[in-house]
Structure 1
Amino acid sequence: MEEKEVKTRASAIDEKASEEGEKSRAMSETLVSRATRSYIGPPVYIKPRFQDEIYTRGRGYALYISNFYEKSRPRLGAEQDEVTIKTFFEGFDYEYDFRSDVKTPNELWEIINDVKTKVERNKEKYKSFFIIISSHGKGITLRNEVGRELPDDEGKPIVVADNIQLLEPNTFVRVDQIVSKFKDFMTDKPKVLMFQNCRNVPGVEKLVSDSKDFCYSGTIPQIADMVVIHDTGKGGKGWVDRNGAWMFQCLFVDCRHMYDNEHFLDVLTQMNHIVSRREDRDKSGFIANQMPCFTSTFTKFFYL
């Protein structure tokens, strides 16, 4: 083969390689561009490689329990929360089940057990499950063997768990007790447990008002395929206004457009971003803010 012909072929190969390189770079730039504008433009759905990486999409079951809803001292925004949550789940063709003003732990366990039985009997019908509980609440602090509260180095109480308040006077249930009720439930299907309640210690709200300091601490699920969501970290207050709870406003209204294309945990991350930057100031100048948190043992992508 003549030297001129060899050079011509080598040149053609180089040009083709250069063209392929340009295509590759252009594709990379497109992917980067899509990623950087994912929250400032229409969401971009990036499909996982294998179908078994995604939980089966389809109709789910949503149980919403709202305490202090109809009584003489209803929680601010409670009625609006119910409208918001109902609209959201019915829009995704979920079976929506609303209960209000649970009085005792036994009543709560009965509701949960009845719903679990119904869902398990129709397990082919339901592809996912949500339970959302709104109420007053308070933190449970670390104490020594004689019951004395043990503060941290700054003199603040150490919140180790939290309680949900029921309607009977001085009646509470621990959040981790509720989470434990869903062990061995809906195996291999996504379960979302969401709690909207204060987790601070009464009387020391201002010590823990900046709940960004407490965002590390959520209730950790002990089984697979579950995410537990708190509207604030341990020791923090869950804030509401006339439009309802901050977390619900963000997750079910502001981020509604994301669910068609975004993995559920990505929506939660965006919720954290939005709520953590929100601040309100009361008449005394006290700044109200909060940091939602979630813990997950999801093993697949979850799309509603």
Structure 2
Amino acid sequence: MWLLWIKRYFMKQALHDVSSPSPRLLSRTNLAKDKYRYKMDYPCMGTCVIINIKNFDLKTGSLETRNGTDVDAAELEKTFSKLGYKVTLVHDQTADQIVDLLRDVSTQDHSNSGSFVCVLLSRGDEGGIYGTDGSFVNLDELTKFVDGNGCRSLVGKPKLLFIQAARGNKLDDGTLSEGDSMDGQTPSRIPVEADFLYAYSTTPGFNAWRDTQNGSWFMQSLCEMLRRFSGQLELMQIMTRVNNKVALEYKTTPGRSGKRQMPCIVSLLTKEFYFP
């Protein structure tokens, strides 16, 4: 009887040791998670600036009204508000006004924010977008305001840019498929361009499609995937699902020969990013 009790005691102790990680192991696990995941326990998720360009000055000639973009703007405002962002939505800005808006962002204190989001909805070409006056704004000119030199309170924090604009005039016909800084440590220097995500609606040189009634393929897919998977999946996983939806579920009407579109995600993020 005594031997049986001892045997049961040690069996229970062994099971407890296997199923209950030691405090030291848990501590190492948490440190590893912190190292590879952006800190998001700030009072605010951050600022989200949405610049929606629908109407262009008549003197621009070839820049036509972007019907359907207001649908995107409204859906984006709702989506990022639900994610906890302080959303600023502006319409029909000239090139100078767009630059001034991002310059103003750089002067604000983002110490209590975990990230920054900027959404650009306009006509564009490779490297940038057009203001309502037809003047071209280089994307580099905008991002310099929130990079490591332009805004110190955003250093080390994710800066997400979502761009709905053409990057050229080429059309995609598709192809046949065979099948379906740590607390307590000395601050370290990081690259000025670190912690950016550029999510383009299309690949370099190609057109980007927008439904005049339902909004653009890319932005509508982005909002849907953010609604469905925020809090579950890491951002790059979410963006992969956006890519999947746009690439496989959308094509133009038969009159346009069923053209396709492939988003382009360029990540300079240094850690995993999870929405709450």
Structure 2 length-normalised TM: 0.72
Output aligned runs, 1:7-26, within 5 Å: none
- Rate the CA distance shift 1:191–1:163 in 2: closer, same or farther, 3 A: closer
Q: For residue 253 of structure 1, report the CA deviation from its aligned partner.
A: 1.6
Change in CA separation of 1:281 and 1:226 when aligned onto 2, cut-off 3 Å:
closer
Secondary structure of the 1:76 match is coil
Among 204, 212, 218, the residue aligned to 1:234 = 204
Q: 1:295 aligns with which of 256, 266, 270?
A: 266
Match in the other structure for 1:80 = 71
- Following superposition, the deviation at residue 94 of structure 1 comes to 0.7
| Corresponding residue for residue 253 of structure 1 | 224
Q: 1:285 Cα deviation (Å)?
A: 4.5
Give CA deviations for 1:22-44 in whole Å, capped at 9, x if unaligned. Answer: x9xxxxxxxxxxxxxxxxxxxxx
Q: Superposed, which structure 2 residues align to 1:197-276 within 5 Å?
A: 197-201=165-169, 205=170, 208-210=171-173, 223-241=193-211, 242-276=213-247
Change (3 A) 1:183 1:266: same
Matched, 1:125 2:93: no
What is residue 127 of structure 2 aligned with on the other side? 162
Which residue does 1:135 correspond to in 2? 122
Q: Aligned partners of 1:235 and 1:222: how far apart in 2?
A: 27
Alpha-carbon distance in 1 for matches of 2:33, 2:172: 44
Structure-1 residue corresponding to 2:179: none
> CA offsets per residue over residues 145-197 of structure 1, 9 Å max, x none?
xxxxxxxxxxxxxxxx33311111x4212233333333213101010111110
Q: Once structures 1 and 2 are overlaid, which stretch shifts more, 249-258 or 279-288?
A: 279-288
1:66 partnered with 2:52: yes
| Counterpart residue number, 1:56 | 39
Distance 1:162 1:286, change over 3 A: farther
Change (3 A) 1:297 1:98: same
- Paired residue for 1:107? 97
Aligned length: 224
The change in CA–CA distance for 1:285 and 1:244 in structure 2 (over 3 A counts) is closer
Give the secondary structure class of the aligned counterpart of 1:127: strand
* 1:185-233 CA distance string (max 9 Å, x none): 31010101111101123xxx4xx33478xxxxxxxx9611111110000
Q: Aligned partners of 2:127, 2:195: CA distance in 1, in Å?
A: 23
Unaligned stretches of 5+ in structure 2? Answer: 1-10, 19-29, 59-63, 176-190
Task: For residues 248-282 of structure 1, give each alpha carbon's deviation from its aligned partner in whole angstroms, at most 9, with x where no partner exists.
Answer: 11111244221112111111111111111133233
User: Alpha-carbon deviation of 1:90?
Assistant: 1.0
Residue 193 (structure 1) aligned to one of 161, 170, 173: 161
Q: CA deviation at 1:74?
A: 3.7
Alpha-carbon separation, structure 1, partners of 2:274 and 2:31: 12
Give the aligned partner of residue 182 of structure 1. Answer: 146
- Structure 1 Cα separation of the partners of residues 137 and 173 of structure 2: 25
Query: Which protein has the larger Cα radius of gyration, Structure 1 or Structure 2?
Result: 1
CA separation of 1:229 and 1:91: change in aligned 2, threshold 3 A: same
What amino acid does structure 1 have at the position aligned with 2:107?
A: T
Instruction: Decide whether the 8 Å contact of 2:251 with 2:261 is kept in 1.
Output: no
- CA offsets 1:42-99 (integer angstroms, 9 cap, x no match): xxxxx99422322122421100001125989641211111111011111112100111
8 Å CA contact retained: 1:69, 1:79: no
- CA–CA distance in 1 between the matches of 2:174 and 2:192? 25
Please state whether the residue corresponding to 2:249 is helix, strand or coil.
coil
Q: CA 1:49/1:133 → structure 2, altered by over 3 Å: closer, same or farther?
A: same
